[in-house]
Structures are given as structure tokens and as C-alpha cells.
Chains A and B, each alone.
Chain A
Amino acid sequence: MSDPYHPPVKRSVEIAGHKTSISLEPIFWDMLKDAAAASDMSINALVAKIDAERIRSETPPGLASAIRVWLVKARLP
């Protein structure tokens, strides 16, 4: 993706058999794809994992927010 400031775009994902759509900036979709490939998981599986984590949070954010936070956190030293 050439322009990192591209507005969010929607994609369909399936979490535990439920279809939903998530809006993320393309740069986060790219990061999500890389992160899933790096741990040999599908994007759906990784999103399901992030979803499970966020629900356990004391103040659960929306799923798109949770994915962005997870991706950034994964890159922190």
C-alpha cells in the first residue's frame, strides 16, 4: 500500500462460525496478514484470538481497535 494514510476499508472475517466485517486502514490489514502468516495461522484464526483477548479485558474495546492495538503491541520491543 503506497499511501499509509488511506482511509479504512472493510473486509469480511469469520470468527467462530460468525461472519462479520471489520474496517481497518490497509496498512493494518497488511500487518494482520503478515502477523497471521508469521504464526502460521489464517487471518480468521488470528482475529478470533485477538477477539478472545479483548473480551477478557476490563474495558473491552471494539474489535477493530483491538486489532490495531494488538498489532502495535506485537511490534513493541
Chain B
Amino acid sequence: MELVRPTLAMLPEYRDALKRGFSPHNINTERVRQQQLEQIEEDPEGLIAVMHDPDGKGPPIEMPDGTLKPRLPGITRWMWEDGTFIGAINLRWAKGTSALPEGVPGHIGYTVAEWHRGKGYATRALIQICKEARDIGLEYVELTTDQDNIASQRTIEKVGGRVVGTFDAGDMHHPCHETLLWRIDL
């Protein structure tokens, strides 16, 4: 498995995964899945462009309450193996600081397609994106997990992460669950 920068040539494979039920987000899962399927039809170039936006030049982000927030610098990479889409991982940050941007539930978010889970893909992806985070200049990254998401917690532990607390804004992003805040030193 390698982490790749998404391109138009890879979109058909990504569309197949979305159609099969993959969603790149674990918040508003179904809505994001539908939005991405629509965007693939209407503006595939825009979808690809926003996946590599290290200067935060893309359109503003719509928050769960409908307000708009300027887009942070961020990159999305796909887990890719022999032409097959495995999952997605993204990294976003605030310019000039390693601190977690306000209101963001983690520098890094990842989702492995359900039919590819349990094979260690997330761990390998996390190791690789941490290298990119270090290259960008971050000294550490912070991630959040639900307290009952044991698989994701094991993934972060394997990469050297430790719990540093609970996530204050967690209620907004992970309703009904205690949210753990993890840190990985780079």
C-alpha cells in the first residue's frame, strides 16, 4: 500500500468505493458521501484540487451548524494498492504552529473502506502521513478518537501516540461519546 496524491485518473475507482458505501468522514458520513458522488459528476477537477491545498486556498468549509469557516491548509492522500482504493487520510494544520487549530477534531483524520479493514492499512497510512507532517514543520500532531473506538486507538498507539486528555469541543463532533485527545510527537 502506498499513500498517493489523488488524481483524476484515480477518480473512477474512488467513485466505485463511494457507491459501495465508503465515506471519507466519520461525521456527517452519509451526507459527505452523497456530496462527493455529486461533485464527481459535476466538478471532478474541483474535488481533486481541494484534496491538495497546502496553502488553504480552497473554498470555505461549511460547519455542522451551517456557518462558513476559512479553509485550513490541508492535504488528503489515498491509500492505494495496485490500482485499488483502500481508504483516505487527511492532514490539516494552522500555518506557523503545531497547535491544533481551534474547533478542529484533530490534525489527522482517516477512514479505511469497511471491506479493507483489519489489515493494518490505517497504521501504515498514519506512519506515512506523519512523515509529511514533519516535513511541513509540525512538531507534533493531535488526533481524537471516540472512547469506544478501540481499533483507531490501537492504530495511534502503534505509531507512538499517547492520550493527553479529552477533547473539549468533542460534543460537537462526536455526539454521545467521550472523545479522547491523542498526541504523536514527530
Which of B2, B4, B7, B84 interacts with A10 by CB under 8 Å?
A: B84
Chain A contacts for B84, CB-based, 8 A = 10, 23
B83 interface hit (Cβ, 8 Å): yes
Which DSSP category, helix, strand, loop or mixed, fits chain A's interface? Answer: mixed
A9 interface hit (Cβ, 8 Å): yes
| Number of residues of chain A lying within 8 A (CB) of chain B | 11
Chain B contacts for A9, CB-based, 8 A = 9-10, 12-13, 83
Q: List 25 A-B contacts (CB under 8 A).
A: A1-B9, A3-B7, A6-B7, A6-B9, A7-B2, A7-B4, A7-B10, A7-B80, A8-B82, A8-B83, A9-B9, A9-B10, A9-B12, A9-B13, A9-B83, A10-B12, A10-B13, A10-B83, A10-B84, A21-B83, A23-B82, A23-B83, A23-B84, A24-B83, A26-B9
Interface residues of A (CB under 8 A from B): 1, 3, 6-10, 21, 23-24, 26
